[in-house]
Chains A and B, each alone.
Chain A
C-alpha cells in the first residue's frame, strides 16, 4: 500500500511537470497579458515598461525556467490581476469550492441512493419510468439556466432565499449557509440524475447476478440480501463514479460560481485565463492537479476498505 502511494505521488510529479510546460506554452502563445491589463488606456510605452517589469520581454524558455526555479522554492509569485500573492488568493478561494463540492456530493448521494434503489426494485414499473424521465430532464437542463430559474423562484417569487452573493462563514454562519443553498441545489440536480441512473443500472445488474440467486435459494431474508449482498456490491463502481465526478466538479462549479457570485476556484480560474494571469493560472493548474491525484488516491484506498479482495502490491 505504501509503495503504491509513493509510486502514485511520483507519477504526480511527472504529470505536474508535463502539465506545467504545456500550460505555460499555450498561455504564452495566446498573447500578451499587459495590453489586456491596461485596457482602453493602453499605450505602447507603458505596455513596454510593464512587460519589462514582469519579465515578459524575455524568451518563453527563460520565463518558464525562472518560474520553475521559484515554484521549486515554493514561491508562486504575485498575481497580475488581483493585488495579492497567488497562494493567498488560491487558499482564500479553495475552501469555497471544496465546501460547494462536498455539500453537493453529499446532498446528491443522499437523494440519489434511495431513488436509484427504489427505481431498481421497481424495474420497468411506472415509478421507475417516472424517475428515469426525471433524471433525463435534469441531465438536459443547462447549469446556468437552472441557476437562473432557481433564483427566479426562490429569491424573486417566494423571497425566502437570497439570489446571489457571498458572506464568509466567520462573519455570519446563517447568512453563509443560506447563500450556499441555491448553488448546491443547482449543482446537485445534475449529479442526482447521474448518480441515480448509475445506481439503478448497477443495482439491477447486481440483483440479476448468480450470488443473489444463491442467496435467495438459501432462503435468506430479502432485507438481508438487499443490504448485505446487493448494496455492498453496488458501492464499488459507485465510488469510482463519485471519484471521477469530484474532480469534474471543479469544472462544473465555474458556471454555478459565476451565476451565484461565489468567489470559488472555478470562477477564479476563468478570470485568470481571460486576464492571462500566468502566475495565477499556473498556481491553480498545479494545485487542482494535485487535488485530482489525491482524490483518485483516496478512491483507491476506499476500494480496499469496501472490498477486501482488492490489494495493491
Chain B
C-alpha cells in the first residue's frame, strides 16, 4: 500500500511538472485492439468498440476520474419521488447531422432500446425503467418499477448513450451500424472493418467553448498483435496504445514513452467455479484453495509489484470499498487443514480451464505450482479467448479464471455476478441473504446507508467463495511523449476529448 501511495504521488507530480498548455490540431493514431462489429451503440457489446463510441456519442450523464456521475447531455437531475428521475437537458446541442437534441430524442432512444424485436443487450442495464415521459422541450422524466439508485450509473454506461433519431430513420437499423451519428466531440468519417476507423473533430460540439476537442482527427488502426502494436509505438507509427502487459509497459516507460496506468488498479482478477456442482459445491475445498494462493508472489512475478492483492470484488478507491476487510490471505497450513476437512487429505486433481493467451497461461502455471504445495493438482484445458465467456455462461466450464472492470455503481457488477437471478451469475451462487442485501441496496438513495449494505454483501460473498479474488491489476495506456492530457476514467475505457498532441 505504501509503495502504491508513493507511485500515486510520483505519477501525479510527474504529470503536473510535464503539462504545458493544450494546443489544437493534429491527428492521433491509435493502436486499436480488436475488430469492432458495430457502431450502433444500442447493439454494441465489444469492449474495444467503446473506445470509438465515446468519441462519437455522448451519454445523458458522464463520469469523472473519481467515478462520480457528472453532467453531460443532462445538466442536472433530481428525484421528486423515489420512483422518478427528472433530468434537465442541455440546450443548443446538435447532432453531427444537424438534428437538434431535446427531450423527445431522449424518449425515442430509450424506447428504441426497449423495443422487443430490436433485442438490445443494453436493455438489461435499465430494466427497472417503465417509461420515459417528455415534460417539456428540455425536461424528461424516467419512471421506475421500484426505487433504483443505480439508474444514473447505468445512464453513464452503455444504456445512456444518445443516437440521432433522424440518422437511424435515414439509414435503417442495419446500415446505421456503419454510419453512426451522435452529439459527441468527434464525427464518424469512415471505417473499413479490420483495418481502420477514422473520426474527425465536430466543430459544433457543445464543449467547444472550452476548446474541446483538441485533436483534428483520430485514426483507430486495428492491430491484432500486441507485440506489433508496441513496435509501432516505438517506430513512431502510432501515438497511443492500450492493452499492454505490465512488463512491456515498464519497458516502454524506460524508453521515455508516456505510460499512464489506472491508479489504483481498476480490474480484479479471480478464479471462479460452479458452486452447485461437484466438486466445488464443497465449501471447505473452496476455502482451502482460497488460502493456498500466495497473491503477493503472483503480483511480483506477473505484475512486477504493480498490482495489489485482492480482498474482494471491489477495487480500492471506490466509495463502496471497505479498507479493513482483508478476505482470504495466504495460509498454507490452514489450506491443508481445510483440504483434509473437505475430504481430500491425500490431495486431489482438478481440471482447470485456461484462456489461450500468454498472460493467462503464465498465471495458470504459477497457480499450478502454488496449489501443488497444498495438494491440489491442476490439469489444464485450453480454451480460446473469444469463446471462453460463452462457455462459462453456458456452464460448460467449471473451474477457470476471469477478470472484470468496474461500473460506476456497486449494483452494476455485484447484482450481475452474485444475485441468484444475476444475468452473469455463471457460478450459480445462490445466497438469499446476499440477494436481500443487493435488492435493498439498489432501492436506497442514501450513500452512507448503501455503503453499509454493500460492505456486508461483499464480506458474505467473498467468504462464501464463489470466486477466489486474486489481484487488482492496472490497465496501461502507452503514448508518444508528444501526447498530453490523458486521464483514466475508472471504467477503463479511454476518452479522447481532453487529449492533445504537440505539433
Q: Are A39 and B225 in contact (CB under 8 A)?
A: no
Chain B's closest residue to A260 (CB) is: B228
Q: Are A84 and B178 in contact (CB under 8 A)?
A: yes
Q: Are A156 and B390 in contact (CB under 8 A)?
A: no
Q: Are A166 and B196 in contact (CB under 8 A)?
A: yes
Complex CA–CA separation, A164 to B29 (angstroms): 13
Complex CA–CA separation, A40 to B194 (angstroms): 21
Q: Are A271 and B121 in contact (CB under 8 A)?
A: no
Consensus secondary structure, chain B interface: loop
Q: Are A84 and B193 in contact (CB under 8 A)?
A: yes
Known: A40-B424, A41-B45. A82 touches B37 (CB 8 A): yes
| Neighbour of A37 across the interface among B37, B39, B177, CB < 8 A | B37
Chain A 270-289 interface mask (CB, 8 Å, partner B; 1/0): 01001100000000000000
Residues in chain A near residue B37, CB distance under 8 A? 37, 81-83
Judged by a CB distance under 8 angstroms, whether A25 is at the interface is no
| Residues of A in contact with B, size category | 35 or more
Instruction: Count chain B residues whose beta carbon lies closer than 8 angstroms to a beta carbon of A.
Output: 46
Judged by a CB distance under 8 angstroms, whether A165 is at the interface is yes
Judged by a CB distance under 8 angstroms, whether B93 is at the interface is no
Residues in chain A near residue B384, CB distance under 8 A? 274
Chain A's closest residue to B29 (CB) is: A165
5 contacts between A and B (CB under 8 A): A82-B37, A83-B174, A155-B235, A261-B224, A274-B384
Rounded to whole Å, the gap between the CB of A157 and the closest CB of chain B is 9
| Neighbour of B235 across the interface among A37, A38, A156, A268, CB < 8 A | A156
Complex CA–CA separation, A50 to B120 (angstroms): 9
Consensus secondary structure, chain A interface: helix
Q: Are B231 and A151 in contact (CB under 8 A)?
A: yes
Q: Which of A28-36, A68-76, A209-217, A237-245 contacts B (4 or more CB under 8 A)?
A: A28-36
Complex CA–CA separation, A83 to B387 (angstroms): 20
Q: Are B390 and A36 in contact (CB under 8 A)?
A: yes
Which residues of B164-190 are within 8 A (CB) of A? 174, 177-178
Residues in chain A near residue B390, CB distance under 8 A? 31-32, 35-36, 39, 42
Judged by a CB distance under 8 angstroms, whether A49 is at the interface is yes
**Across chains A and B, which 7 residue pairs bring their CB atoms closest together, nearest first?**
A35-B390, A43-B423, A49-B119, A83-B177, A263-B194, A274-B386, A41-B121
Q: Are B45 and A49 in contact (CB under 8 A)?
A: no
Judged by a CB distance under 8 angstroms, whether B394 is at the interface is yes
Q: Are B194 and A267 in contact (CB under 8 A)?
A: yes
Judged by a CB distance under 8 angstroms, whether B116 is at the interface is yes
List 4 other contacts, CB 8 Å, given A35-B389, A40-B47, A166-B195.
A31-B387, A35-B390, A41-B45, A83-B178
| Neighbour of A165 across the interface among B47, B158, B193, B223, CB < 8 A | B223
Judged by a CB distance under 8 angstroms, whether B232 is at the interface is yes
Residues in chain B near residue A165, CB distance under 8 A? 196, 221, 223, 232, 237
Rounded to whole Å, the gap between the CB of A203 and the closest CB of chain B is 39
Rounded to whole Å, the gap between the CB of A145 and the closest CB of chain B is 11
Judged by a CB distance under 8 angstroms, whether B329 is at the interface is no
Chain A 155-185 interface mask (CB, 8 Å, partner B; 1/0): 1100100111110100000000000000000
Q: Are A163 and B232 in contact (CB under 8 A)?
A: yes
Rounded to whole Å, the gap between the CB of B467 and the closest CB of chain A is 15
Complex CA–CA separation, A41 to B157 (angstroms): 12
